Amino acid sequence: MNMTYKTLKIEIADNIALLTANRPEAMNALNALFFEEFNKVLDDLEKNDALRALIITGSGKAFVAGADISEMSGMNCDQGKAFSETGQQAFARLSTLSIPVIAAVNGFALGGGCELALACDIRIAGSYAKFGQPEVNLGLIPGYCGTQRLPRLIGLSNALYLLLTADMIDAEEAYRLGLVQKVFPADTLIDETKKIAIKIASKGKIAVSKAKEATIKGMQMDLQQASKLEADYFGNLFGNGESGEGMKAFLEKRKPNW
């Protein structure tokens, strides 16, 4: 995998990838180069069949503090729409990876940074993490699907409160709202997040992938359609060696040999 990115760092160990937004001088603000490099990283990750999980974090005191306003300030309507679509497409790719994606939110996750976290499957926060969608302060709205993902995660009124007030919330409030699943001390955040990724990686790889896929697809269906989808996926898993090994290991009271 190409390791020489200007806005990102990627490390892979034990089949778990750690992707770090790496523009600390700009609080990891998202610009056109970030999205170009982000898509290249996703190209590589999608080809890595051994990969079991992806963790995303930021360097310095920010996860990602938003989109790069200096790059946005001169845009016209068409350019603004294109910049929105670029981010939406990149984050949609992220959200549909077959492996679990975990955000390790180490600091400020504002604007586009909050939207990056929203596109992940699970959000783990350091104790100093801050979340917010401050776009209305700039006369804008979120452009990377924040108006759509946020209410689906925390409910319509909670989302509208954050979107319309532009309030910034801390990790504990984000946990209370269900925006994050765990909060850890800042100095243990990455280690604790890796433990979660390792725990997931110890399960059946195909089952984890299909559980994610069925859940996300089912959320876009009514309950009857989603239940049928689940039954189809459940049945299909009996046709591979992974489920056979998993059930055999359970009956033999041993760990499965995936």
* Residues annotated as part of the active site: 115, 135
Give the contacts of 138 (CB within 8 A, at least 6 positions apart). Answer: 69
Residue-wise burial string across 107-118, b where 16 or more C-beta atoms lie within 10 A, e elsewhere: bbbbbbbbbbbb
Instruction: Spell out a b/e string for 34-59, using b for 16 or more CB atoms within 10 Å of the CB, else e.
Output: bbebbeebbeebeeeeebbbbbbbbb
* Helix (H), strand (E) at residue 39: helix 32-47
Whole-angstrom distance, CA of residue 191 vs CA of residue 102: 13
Contact 41, 4 (CB under 8 A): no
Residue entry with tokens 């170009």: 36
Question: How far is CA 80 from each of CA 50, 70, 133, rounded to the nearest angstrom?
Answer: 38, 13, 17
How far is the C-alpha of 187 from the C-alpha of 37, rounded, in Å? 28
Residues making up the chain, counted from first to last: 258
